[in-house]
Amino acid sequence: MGRGLATEEEKARYVRRMFGAIAHRYDLTNAVISAGLHRRWKEATVRLLDLRPGGRGLDVCCGTGDLALLLARRVGARGRVVGIDVSEEMLRIARRRAAAAGTGAVCRFAQGDAEALALPDAAFDAATVGFGIRNVVHPASALRELRRVLRPGGQLAVLEFSRPRHAVLARLYDLYSFTLMPWLGRLASRHADAYLYLPTSIREWPDQDAFAAMLVRAGFERVCYHNLLTGIAAIHVGTRPPSGHAPGVARP
């Protein structure tokens, strides 16, 4: 882990405190450092899901609720969306935004850990995680939890930073991530090192194929990914196998 966060508890504590501290400026900072691109990527993520009006959606590591609000739009007034995050500060903003968007009755936001979801088995038709899985101490545990709470045949879409496949773009992106982005991030978020943690954690995150393999090991099938900007970010999609279907994956 970057920044010398030696232990798992240290990482969990740092992540929780850091997101709590930047919550009130998180949306602004995201808009600044991604030049608004993150919104289009989130829309693309939700478009990949077969989620119908009246359906049940879950957004884990929901932050201020961008993906949850997009899911709410998809499921409509008869549907249900749950957003889960460790940070109460983030959740407070998500609730406010859902109310302002007229989806306060569709969305419920609750504090929780992605690795131990206080949700029933097979309760959701689709789930999303946006720029969150990288921050979880044991991502494989979170993926197994996501599989558990999806109904058989339900889909998971994970939007996460990844590895640019274009050599020149990769160099430029590296330069941006370790110079301009931390500076812009510090300016917009007013947090000393949150946007130093970001590029370091991205560098340590598995590439597209390694993360796809992690999804398969967690019990997802039909796993595929879509590169965004040649792989600066990627959307991975996997399906919980239909019931009775034993996926050929290793159990930890």
Ligand X SMILES: C[S@@+](CC[C@H](N)C(=O)[O-])C[C@H]1O[C@@H](n2cnc3c(N)ncnc32)[C@H](O)[C@@H]1O
Footprint of ligand X (CB under 6 A): 15, 19, 61-63, 66-67, 84-87, 90, 113-115, 130-132, 135-136
C-beta nearest to ligand X: residue: 63
User: To the nearest whole angstrom, how small is the minimum distance from the Cβ of residue 130 to ligand X?
Assistant: 3
Question: Rounded distance, CA 88 to CA 86, Å?
Answer: 6
The residue (of 7 and 152) whose beta carbon lies closer to ligand X is 7
The residue (of 79 and 130) whose beta carbon lies closer to ligand X is 130
User: To the nearest whole angstrom, how small is the minimum distance from the Cβ of residue 185 to ligand X?
Assistant: 11
User: To the nearest whole angstrom, how small is the minimum distance from the Cβ of residue 102 to ligand X?
Assistant: 20
Edge-to-edge strands of the sheet including 233-239? 107-111, 80-85, 56-60, 124-130, 150-161, 233-239, 221-228
Q: At 214, which helix (H) or strand (E)?
A: helix 208-217
Question: Rounded distance, CA 9 to CA 107, Å?
Answer: 30
Name the token pair of 31.
Answer: 């808009």
The residue (of 114 and 216) whose beta carbon lies closer to ligand X is 114
User: To the nearest whole angstrom, how small is the minimum distance from the Cβ of residue 13 to ligand X?
Assistant: 11
The residue (of 193 and 221) whose beta carbon lies closer to ligand X is 193
Question: Rounded distance, CA 174 to CA 155, Å?
Answer: 32
